[in-house]
Homo-oligomer: A and B are copies of this chain.
Amino acid sequence: MTHEIAVIPGDGIGQEVTPAAVEVLEAIDAVDFDFVEGAAGDAVKAETGEALPQATRDLAADADATLFGAAGETAADVILPLRQVVGSFANVRPARSYPGLDAVQPDTDIVFIRENTEGVYKGIESEISEGVTTCTRVITEDASEKIAEYGFSYAKGNGYDDVTIAHKANVMRTTDGLFLDTASAVGEDRDASYDTALMDALAMHLVMNPQDYGVVICPNLAGDMLSDLAAGLVGGLGLLPSANIGEENALFEPVHGSAPDIAGEGVANPSAMILSAAMLLDHLGYDEQGDAVRSAVESVLDSGPRTPDLGGDASTEDVTAAVIDEL
Binding site for B on A (CB under 8 A): 75-76, 80, 104-105, 120-121, 123, 125-127, 130-142, 168, 170-178, 199-201, 203-208, 221-222, 224-229, 231-233, 235-237
Further 8 A-B residue pairs, CB within 8 A, beyond A104-B105, A134-B175, A203-B226: A80-B171, A121-B171, A133-B178, A134-B174, A135-B136, A135-B172, A200-B224, A203-B225
CB <8 Å contact, B125 and A172: yes
How far does the Cβ of A280 sit from chain B's closest Cβ, in whole Å? 23
A239 to B97, CA, bound (A): 28
Which residues of B are found within 8 Å of A231, using beta-carbon distances?
Answer: 204
A155 to B127, CA, bound (A): 30
A201 and B178 contact, Cβ closer than 8 Å, known pairs A132-B140, A134-B137: no
A104 to B233, CA, bound (A): 10
**Which of B121, B174, B203 has a CB less than 8 Å from the CB of A133?**
B174
A144 to B133, CA, bound (A): 11
CB <8 Å contact, A137 and B138: no
A16 to B315, CA, bound (A): 58
CB <8 Å contact, A170 and B76: yes
CB <8 Å contact, A170 and B126: no
CB <8 Å contact, A203 and B175: no
A274 to B48, CA, bound (A): 60
CB <8 Å contact, A125 and B175: yes
Which residues of B are found within 8 Å of A235, using beta-carbon distances?
Answer: 208
A200 (CB) vs chain B CBs: closest residue = B228
A126 to B121, CA, bound (A): 18
**Which of B142, B200, B208 has a CB less than 8 Å from the CB of A225?**
B200
CB <8 Å contact, B203 and A168: no
CB <8 Å contact, A208 and B228: no
A225 to B223, CA, bound (A): 12
The listed residue with most B CB atoms (<10 A of its CB), out of A76, A127, A232, is: A232
A207 (CB) vs chain B CBs: closest residue = B232
CB <8 Å contact, B172 and A236: no
Which residues of B are found within 8 Å of A174, using beta-carbon distances?
Answer: 125-127, 133-135
Which residues of B are found within 8 Å of A233, using beta-carbon distances?
Answer: 207
Which 8 pairs show the lowest CB-CB distances between chains A and B? A207-B232, A131-B141, A125-B174, A204-B232, A200-B228, A203-B229, A135-B175, A135-B137
